[in-house]
Amino acid sequence: MAGAELIGKEECKEVMDVLGTGIFARYSFDKERQGVWKVRDFEKAFAKYFGATYALGVTSGSAALKVALTALDVGPGDEVICPAFTFMATYEAVLEVGGIPVMADIDDTLNLDPDDITNKITSRTKAVIPVHMCGAPARIDRIMKVAKKNKLLVLEDNAQGCGASYKGKMLGSFGHMGIFSFDHYKTITTGEGGMIITNDLDLYHRAEWYHDHGHDHLSTVHRALDGRTILGFNYRMNEFQGALGLAQLRKLKKVIAAQRKNKAALKEAFAPIPGLKFRLIPDPDGDSATFLAFNLPAEEQTKAFQKALKAEGIDTTRFKDNFWHYVPNWEHFLAKSTAQTKNPFKDPRNRKVTYSRKSIPHAEDLLGRTLIMGVNVIMPAAKLKAIRKGIANAAKVL
Ligand SMILES: *Cc1c(COP(=O)(O)O)cnc(C)c1O
């Protein structure tokens, strides 16, 4: 649960600043807001923290994906390679802009397999979305190499890896653009919210214009007289989200340090189990430690262990069963059941693409025998002790 566990007086103070001015919108009201610009400050602090030149706050992580894909000019006729293991928003965003998501396999990191990108490239492939699932990096260096060689744009979906890094560089800062989510479950939270980062001024401008009806935000003139180049929509972050984000970002280091400590303790409890292997993390020092993932040699054994853990009060997820994070389980997606009957799947500019379990053998195998558990920030010694005991008891079924 991460940042949500630490909501306290710091968040209250930031939000009270906003209530004090009565200006909840991020733009305009320069005089009335009495110098309070929470979204702007949050963006500045965020860009600095993540080593990016520009950051743009938006309404959600899903909106961030859509705004970024729009800035990258992905649209009808374009294909975007996405991993089979991700949250649905990654695929939905591609459809939202009129493109077609192409499903690729994962590797031992549980993230997009760089080698499978090459298998999935067609003349229509425009971009690839590596997703750093459960707080740990994909093989992002290799993914960037494959993308560069094939002239693909890279949008990092780092909704789950806020504060994680790969060889000292923050996740989200490798691709042409990177996105973050601040929904309630994420590493830091603003209730709902998202961020886009990039080092490219042109991409930043396109995202900034698009997320706010084309306003250029550059001028000193009244907002109604702003310059404009492209049409857009409204995905603006509000000042309350900015306020919460500022307070939460200051706690990010603490969140991650606590999770790392608690994850190490949990790993110790699982380590003696014969045949159990922890998820491969290409750079363990960069793990944000929001989740602990491990696998057993066989699927049936994994199911039995999960059941035994549950009986001890320890919840884990086996993502092959999961409704929201594994493409083969999205019956509405597979049925191409979008809200509009005229949808990208039927658009003649797009190629017909299939999503079969057979095309993702590694995900089918690995997600069937992997269990994932959330790591809390706050873990009292008594709770850890009970979990350790529960793990030892559950292990008797193996
Ligand atoms: C949470 C999440 C999103 C969407 O973020 P929201 O803020 O909930 O819209 C996108 N991608 C991944 C991988 C996520 O986990």
What kind and span of H or E run contains 167?
none
Amino acid residing at 136: A
Q: Which CATH number fits domain 2-251: 3.40.47.10, 3.30.70.380, 3.40.640.10, 1.10.3720.10?
A: 3.40.640.10
**pLDDT of 336 over the 90 cut:** yes
The two structure tokens encoding residue 85:
């293991």
DSSP state of 280: P
For residues 74 and 296, what is the distance between their CA atoms, to the nearest angstrom? 40
For residues 55 and 60, what is the distance between their CA atoms, to the nearest angstrom? 14
pLDDT, averaged across the chain:
97
Task: Please work out whether the CB of residue 101 comes within 6 Å of at least one atom of ligand 1.
Answer: no
Find the mean pLDDT for residues 239-263. Answer: 98
pLDDT in tens, 7-18: 999 999 999 999
The whole-model pTM stands at 0.98
* Residue 131 near residue 82, CB atoms below 8 Å: yes
| Confidence (pLDDT) at 12 | 98
pLDDT in tens, 200-233: 999 999 999 999 999 999 878 888 899 999 999 9
Q: What is the pLDDT confidence band of residue 70, given thresholds at 50, 70 and 90? A: very high
Task: Please work out whether the CB of residue 153 comes within 6 Å of at least one atom of ligand 1.
Answer: no
For residues 139 and 30, what is the distance between their CA atoms, to the nearest angstrom? 45
How many CA atoms lie within 13 Å of 102's alpha carbon, on the beta-carbon side? 22
CA of 85 to the centre of ligand 1 (A): 13
Task: Please work out whether the CB of residue 305 comes within 6 Å of at least one atom of ligand 1.
Answer: no
Question: CATH 3.90.1150.10 spans which residues of the chain?
Answer: 253-397
Residue 229, Cβ density class (10 Å: 0-12 exposed, 13-18 middle, ≥19 buried)? exposed
For residues 284 and 299, what is the distance between their CA atoms, to the nearest angstrom? 26
Task: Please work out whether the CB of residue 158 comes within 6 Å of at least one atom of ligand 1.
Answer: no
Quote the percentage of the chain above a pLDDT of 90.
98
**Active site (annotated) includes residue 186:** yes
- Say if domain 253-397 classifies as CATH 3.90.1150.10: yes
**pLDDT of 1 over the 80 cut:** no
| Confidence (pLDDT) at 220 | 81
| Confidence (pLDDT) at 131 | 98
Q: Is residue 390 helix, strand or coil?
A: helix
pLDDT in tens, 121-146: 999 999 999 999 999 999 999 999 99
* Residue 39 near residue 242, CB atoms below 8 Å: yes
How many other β-carbons are positioned within 10 Å of the β-carbon of residue 314? 18
Closest CA to 248 of 148, 162, 175, 325: 162
DSSP-assigned beta bridge partners for residue 112: 106
φ and ψ of 95, to 5 deg: -65, -40
The two structure tokens encoding residue 376:
């809390």
pLDDT in tens, 254-301: 999 999 999 999 999 999 999 999 999 999 999 999 999 999 999 999
Question: CATH 3.40.640.10 spans which residues of the chain?
Answer: 2-251
Q: Which atom of ligand 1 is least distant from the CA of 194?
A: 7
Of the listed 186, 251, 263, 320, which one is catalytic? 186
